[in-house]
Structure 1
Amino acid sequence: MIIRPRVQRLILSRIIKASLLILALWTTLEVLSIRRALTLEASKPPPPFGNQKIFIASLHWTDERVLREYWVPAVRQLAQDIGRDNVFVSVFESGSLDDTKGALRDLDDQLTELGIDHKVVLDETTHLDEVTHPRDASNKGWIQMPTTKSYRQDWTDWFELQKDSWVPRRIPYLARLRNQVMEPLASQRIKGITYDKILWLNDVVFTTADVQTLLATRDGDYAAACALDFKQAPRFYDSFATRDAQGHAPLTDTWPFFRSAVSRDALMQGQPVPVSSCWNGMVAFDAAPFYHSRSSGLTFRGIPDGLARKHVEASECCLVHADNPLSAEKGVWVNPDVRVGYNGTAYEAVNHAGVWPSAYAIAMGVWRNRMLRWLRLARAPVDWVVEARLRDWGRVDSANVEPGAFCLIDEMQVLLWNGWGHA
């Protein structure tokens, strides 16, 4: 029996219409289910701090505006809400190009007036001092430029770093400063004061309720718990330090972000999201490993210089989770109910009245994520490149082992007199 072309077109049209109807119904039911779960979680009030002791840590450079408008008032209020007997604030600033020091002096004065224990270090060392400082014989934390490269000096002028010239690596520098922020933890312990949680704050917009919700993630049972952070909402910001439950970087910078089904499904239910690492503008750690981990406390670090020379880098904020012995035991989690911003506009966009994200954003995000997973290889090509470089480095010496392999990316980051850049 021969089916006429007109009948064939009619059948095909009906199949397409039926498929589109099924797709629309599927999407609608999926969005309704996700929205219901998110609404339920968002309706839960933040729990009180209780009597837990919180060590607040923060590192700053050239961020005066957000400090004065949002951060300093928020930290002052947070410390008061936690209670002066249960909080310590440790802040380190170095060589800012604006009046960040002035903003932090205001915080120092306010905390002193409130009787809140704290340490605010305003270091005069600039990035220029760092890049011109004589290297020691080991050259540790320094790397040679693989090629001559130009960097912007200001809006009109540029400067060059010549091939083979020695420059400080950005990540070991940041790790050293973060460890300096943590130093009061030891001096407090000598006084007989220990802390239950370490709360690291970037220069973000946040509220006390955000911190309460974050600290209560999984009833406080975690190695670390992170917020989600946004600079240009709805785009997620901290892909450098975030890795999903399978160790992958975020698949997209919009909701639902993750490639791993375990991480993605938890996010869609509004539940704490299991990840391998995160930072995301605000992160709470169980304090125990910072007091005792192997022979000494947990610290921040960069990858070895030998590995970095192969054009590989990793965030100190990711490596700390790889080194944390509690990560395997208690897990690292993202709490999707805590969303912070690097400016007021971004914060309001992801914390407006009503459930976030919107139904439209959910529908678009789910299908974009799904299509990328269907159409792409299971792993990005850069994964293979980085793994090959890691293997090459490992073959040189059996002692060359990097526990934070999932943190590695195909970049070389160097410190500049006016910030940092890619080499």
Structure 2
Amino acid sequence: MLLSAANRLYLRRIIRWRTTRVVLFLFFLINLLDVLRIHHKIVEGDRQQLLRRGSGAARPRERIYIASMHWNNAQVLKDYWNDAVIQLTETFGPDNVFVSIYESGSWDDSKQALRELDAELDKRNVPRRVEVSDTTHEDEINKAAEERGEGWIDTARGRRELRRIPYLARLRNRTIQDLVELSKKGVTFDKVLFLNDVVFTIDDVLTLLDTNGGNYAAACSLDFSKPPLYYDTFALRDSEGNAHAMQTWPYFGARDSRNALVNHVDAVPVTSCWNGIVVMPAEPFVSSIKLRFRAVPDSLAAHHLEGSECCLIHADNPLSKTKGVYLNPRVRVGYNYPAYAATHPPGRSWVSAWDIFAGLWENRIRRWTAWTLDRWVVRSRVRRWEKETDGNREPGEFCLINEMQVLVENGWAHV
């Protein structure tokens, strides 16, 4: 026998140890190369966007209808938002824009801030409607019984209460009222730009308009309030109609959405998004389609289900299937300046190499192991509702979550 038993055992241990080291080395090398590749794509994607903006290349001449609604966000209006809107109107020219703003019963200085914006737009001859309302949430929820229409529901608190989403849908539709009326008079627009109360720049808007070469049913930014968590979880759905796998990068469970985001392309396919700033073609709002914001029926909401009006709009838009809905990760906005600054670090990737590595593996583990009853709960409740009355059908089922949301004096609440 050439080798003793002890020597054979020693040799096997060496082989196993060397094999383990080789496997670990390959694991480290493959992950390192993958992280470096993705990191480069993120840096290069943002850099190319800046170069394109700085090249002075001519943009297609477009007419933009700007729509926004506000409630108690005076600080961001005064510090950032008003100036950015003025710059937008100067960039496109007063002949190519209309600004529609609706404020709804704020108790801070939002009304005054918007009146100041109105005055500045007037100096520049910008067509607009800046409407401020004294009707508060308290006024809305204390309406007399005979004044209550759709959107009121009996809750577990033993009261008939005003649902949050029908209220918001009604306000959003007020912001596009002039779009519809002007169209009847022959005054048309190419795109509708919906602006939340976010910190943004002109370049952000121009980049968003150019998403997928300008061909989309909707293009959305990515919004943040407390990075690295993205904000609008209620409206964002991946390409398979699912909510996020995780609230940090790379967010998505669906392969098409996840791969596009990891490669930092400017058009990540999704089923629905809103996320701070949204651009949509104006045509569906003014054509025979009459696209409008809405909530799910009260009878469906009674099953303890709710869906965002900013998600349902994509379910109802026929262009969603033909042109696609996209999230553009190169456009990142913040509900405060620290959030905006954190997602725009100068000279480097907004996602660190470590966050890329950790995010990829957390996402994989969640996809491999996570299992919830959320979709089953929604589907079973929708099925019961469909059986209650002939014709009950909800095309935006992917928007629904197991919640009931009502308006309260200082905001809204889960019940």
TM-score (norm 1): 0.91
The letter of the residue matching 1:50 is P
Distance of 1:275 and 1:367 partners within structure 2: 22
Tell me, yes or no, if the aligned pair for 2:41 and 2:264 is still in contact at 8 Å. Answer: yes
Tell me by how many angstroms 1:97 deviates.
2.0
In structure 2, the residue matched to 1:149 is: none
Tell me by how many angstroms 1:128 deviates.
0.5
In structure 2, the residue matched to 1:158 is: none
In structure 1, the residue matched to 2:298 is: 305
**Residues 1:63 and 2:73 are matched in the alignment:** yes
Distance of 1:306 and 1:5 partners within structure 2: 72
My pick for the range that moved more, 365-374 or 40-49, is: 40-49
User: For each residue in 1:19-39, what CA deviation from the matched residue of structure 2 results, as whole angstroms up to 9, or x when unmatched?
Assistant: 322221111111122123223
Pick the aligned partner of 2:387 from 361, 384, 395.
395
* Counterpart secondary structure, 2:220: strand
Tell me by how many angstroms 1:79 deviates.
1.2
The letter of the residue matching 1:288 is E
Aligned residue pair count: 403
Distance of 2:5 and 2:278 partners within structure 1: 67
Tell me, yes or no, if the aligned pair for 1:178 and 1:300 is still in contact at 8 Å. Answer: yes
Tell me by how many angstroms 1:356 deviates.
2.3
Which structure dedicates a bigger proportion of its chain to helix? Answer: 2
User: For each residue in 1:298-319, what CA deviation from the matched residue of structure 2 results, as whole angstroms up to 9, or x when unmatched?
Assistant: 0000001011011100000000
Distance of 1:264 and 1:194 partners within structure 2: 36
TM-score (norm 2): 0.93
Percentage identity across paired residues of the two chains:
47
In structure 2, the residue matched to 1:352 is: 345
* Counterpart secondary structure, 2:95: coil
Tell me by how many angstroms 1:9 deviates.
5.5
Tell me, yes or no, if the aligned pair for 1:48 and 1:212 is still in contact at 8 Å. Answer: no
In structure 2, the residue matched to 1:405 is: 397
User: For each residue in 1:1-49, what CA deviation from the matched residue of structure 2 results, as whole angstroms up to 9, or x when unmatched?
Assistant: 9788766665554444333222211111111221232233212223654
* Counterpart secondary structure, 1:106: helix
Tell me, yes or no, if the aligned pair for 1:293 and 1:325 is still in contact at 8 Å. Answer: no
Unaligned runs of 5+ in 2: none
My pick for the range that moved more, 285-294 or 237-246, is: 285-294
**Residues 1:120 and 2:130 are matched in the alignment:** yes
* Counterpart secondary structure, 1:115: coil
* Counterpart secondary structure, 1:43: helix
* Counterpart secondary structure, 1:85: helix
Unaligned runs of 5+ in 1: 147-162
Tell me, yes or no, if the aligned pair for 1:49 and 1:212 is still in contact at 8 Å. Answer: no
In structure 1, the residue matched to 2:92 is: 82
Pick the aligned partner of 1:144 from 154, 171, 178.
154
Pick the aligned partner of 1:201 from 190, 195, 203.
195
* Counterpart secondary structure, 1:199: strand
User: For each residue in 1:211-269, what CA deviation from the matched residue of structure 2 results, as whole angstroms up to 9, or x when unmatched?
Assistant: 00000111110000000000001111111000000000111111110000000111111
User: For each residue in 1:84-135, what CA deviation from the matched residue of structure 2 results, as whole angstroms up to 9, or x when unmatched?
Assistant: 1111110000111211101111110110011111100101110001000023
User: For each residue in 1:366-411, what CA deviation from the matched residue of structure 2 results, as whole angstroms up to 9, or x when unmatched?
Assistant: 111111111223xx32111111111111111231100000000011
